[in-house]
Chains A and B, each alone.
Chain A
Amino acid sequence: MKAVLRLAALSAWSRRLTLGLTLVAIALAVTLLLAVERIRVDARQSFTQSVSGVDLVVGARTGSVQLMLYAVFHAGAASNNIAWDSYQMIATHPAVDWALPLSLGDSHRGFAVLGTSADYFARFRYGDREELRLRQGKPFAGVFEAVLGSEVAQGLGYRLDDKIILSHGLGELGPEHGDKPFRVTGILAPTGTPVDRTVHVSLESISALHLDWVGGAPMPGVNIPAEFVAKFDLRPKQITAALVGLKQRGDVFRMQRFVNQYRGEPLLAVLPGVALDELWQSIALLERTLLAVSALVVLVGLAGLAATLLAGLNERRRELAILRALGAGPGDMFLMLTAEGVLVTAAGALLGLALLTVASSLAAPWLLDRLGVVLGTRWPGTAELALIGAVIATGLVASLIPGWRAWRMSLADGLTPKL
């Protein structure tokens, strides 16, 4: 058996170019398949991790998925705000343990600006009920103070006490609040959630920014300098959404009904888990399409493998014929072909994994920045191992079929003098 395996190795080495190409084809197919699977799982994970311990998300009446997207993931814009009075009404409801107001709409160099209460840093939970941690500095206390998410600070190179200027609107090209710079008072530790890409300021700061604005643009001829804003009433008049925690989880449907039937204005309360399920359902088709496309790519890769093996069959056929003429039995042949097939597909799969690791560590910052997806580097999970196993099994079959054909043809070749 050792001698047969040695023959297999020498034979494979003699065909190293074609086998090498096959190996690369398999590696690319595996990389693609795993990349799609990994992004899918990690996107889901990132969304699920983003909010924890929140019983209800409240906003103006809209789709529940849309509300989740802008309130929690800061993706897209709110269609409507809710009045501060409505928020107060909810926050002071006897069933409510705590509530965090969220005011969105401004941005800083592409990062979302979130106006909230100072309570946010103590109350907010992400992942497995983890608390926010300040890596440096302290929470904002006054007007024109900001706490940066770790990505914001790292990506733009900000340190404590740096001055930053916010822009109106969510685009990078919106009009600037240039007359009212913010001082960085704190920088948060990384969380792997949208928090990392958010600039946190107080609700009063948001009001102060917009004192001399109307309808999304500076009021012509009116300019209130930063040092005078304290003279104005900075209590917020409206916010975008609110996160609500209840004293007892059992009250959640009663509270949801209370919010949805509120007469002051049309409001919507959603359970984060339920809204996320809806989100998954709406993107399930896309996910399945992606997976199908990458499965097709793998199929093409394996068809390529079978094609290269078949193309090399004449070479191979002569070789198998000679071996059979010299007494190699079906067992020996099977061992040789299988050893080669396993070696090539497994090496291809390993190379694919290596490629994936390199590519994902290169693409991770971009994905986090643009899509908010945290792409982890990790050992392949069960689902991924199953995918790799399927690729190897298919590769094996693809290499055994030509081998079997060669075996059937081989005897006549090996004992016939003219080839």
Chain B
Amino acid sequence: MTALRITDLVFRWPRQAEICLDIARFDLAAGERVFLHGASGSGKSTLLGLLGGVALPQQGRIELLGTDITRLSSRARDRFRADHIGFLFQQFNLLPWLPAIDNVLLPCTFSARRRERAGADPRAEAERMLRHLDLDTASWRKPAGELSVGQQQRVAAARALIGRPEILISDEPTSALDAERQQVFIDLLLQESAAVGATLVFVSHDRRLAGHFDRVVALDEINRTAQEVAA
């Protein structure tokens, strides 16, 4: 089954002349773990924005799990995103005043599907994940804002993975760490997404991290805008 299929996508930011992304075809199989790399300004974040439904392409289709999200209403897109996609960002986007474990549980609060898939007791599931991600028990009840960067990263990862979303999108989540710990975290992420059976899209400008992924894709290879510029 295809987790992601992009067909004939053209996207241009409002009030800008040049086309930013022009992708004829891009497929990801379910469970595939792909490393997508590109230089700064190559359109990585724009692509993730399109996958998340923040922006809509001028042309083309974006099918996630067989649903064309460009045809959904904005409310339905919000719901689809919450139900099926886990996001993990460079900035983690935790609520600083909320205890770590409650941050992990947020997707279960707003998505019934994620709650169901988190098992009979979502709180126990959150605790299991935090333990598995090596976050010491003392930090679970602390507000997320009081945790160290490394700890926040684990909390953010647990939040992205809870309720077993089919797709996990991750944008430079390791840039705050040193090289050695980056690799440890990426291995953890690969392992966890395999455990929940999620398709992983990992975006980074740093090719050195690509080692353990199933597939490595350069954005410039699939984006025809870049090829025209290069030619």
Contact = CB atoms under 8 A, between A and B. Distances in A.
Contacts of B110: 323, 326-329, 332
> Most chain-A CB neighbours within 10 Å: which of B45, B75, B110, B171?
B110
A419 B91 contact: yes
A404 interface: no
A332 to B, nearest CB: 7
A415 B97 CA distance: 20
Nearest to B94: A322
A13 to B, nearest CB: 7
Contacts of A419: 91, 93
Given A7-B109, A412-B54, A417-B171, A325 B90 contact: no
Nearest to B171: A417
A417 B91 contact: yes
Contacts of B32: none
A282 interface: no
B81 interface: yes
A96 to B, nearest CB: 78
A414 B91 CA distance: 10
Contacts of A13: 97
B172 interface: yes
Contact of B90 (A3, A412, A417): A417
Interface of A: 3-4, 7, 10-11, 13-14, 318-319, 321-330, 332, 411-412, 414-419
Contacts of A14: 96-97
Nearest to A319: B95
B164 to A, nearest CB: 15
B49 interface: yes
B95 A327 contact: no
Interface in B108-130: 109-111, 114
Contacts of A322: 93-95, 106
Contacts of B111: 326-327
A416 B107 CA distance: 18
B87 interface: yes
10 residue pairs, one from A and one from B, having the closest CB atoms: A327-B82, A14-B97, A327-B110, A415-B52, A327-B111, A417-B89, A417-B171, A415-B54, A3-B109, A328-B110
Contacts of A324: 78
B12 interface: no
A4 B95 CA distance: 14
Nearest to A14: B97
B122 to A, nearest CB: 11
A10 B143 CA distance: 10
Nearest to B175: A417
B188 interface: no
A4 B105 CA distance: 12
A327 B91 contact: no
Given A4-B109, A10-B97, A327 B78 contact: yes
A418 B90 contact: yes
B101 to A, nearest CB: 13
Given A327-B107, A416-B45, A417-B171, A7 B79 contact: no
Contacts of A329: 75, 78-79, 110
Interface string B46-88: 0011001011000000000000000000010011011100010
14 contacts: A4-B109, A11-B97, A319-B95, A321-B93, A322-B93, A323-B95, A323-B110, A326-B107, A327-B79, A327-B82, A327-B83, A416-B49, A417-B172, A418-B45
A265 to B, nearest CB: 82
Contacts of A412: 49, 54-55
A325 B79 contact: no
Given A417-B91, A417-B171, 6 more contacts: A3-B109, A322-B93, A330-B75, A412-B49, A412-B54, A418-B45
Contacts of B98: 7, 10-11
B152 to A, nearest CB: 13
Contacts of A3: 109
A411 B54 CA distance: 6
A160 B106 CA distance: 76
Contacts of A318: 93
Contact of A415 (B75, B87, B102, B172): B87
B121 to A, nearest CB: 15
Contacts of B49: 412, 415-416
A379 B203 CA distance: 64
Nearest to A414: B93
Contacts of A417: 45, 48, 89-91, 171-172
Contacts of A11: 95, 97-98
Nearest to B45: A417
A51 B218 CA distance: 94
B54 A326 contact: no
Interface in B163-220: 171-172
Nearest to A327: B82
A414 B82 CA distance: 12
A3 B111 CA distance: 12
A318 B79 CA distance: 19
Nearest to A4: B109
B97 A416 contact: no
A326 to B, nearest CB: 5
Contacts of B102: 10
Contacts of A321: 93
Contacts of B87: 325, 415
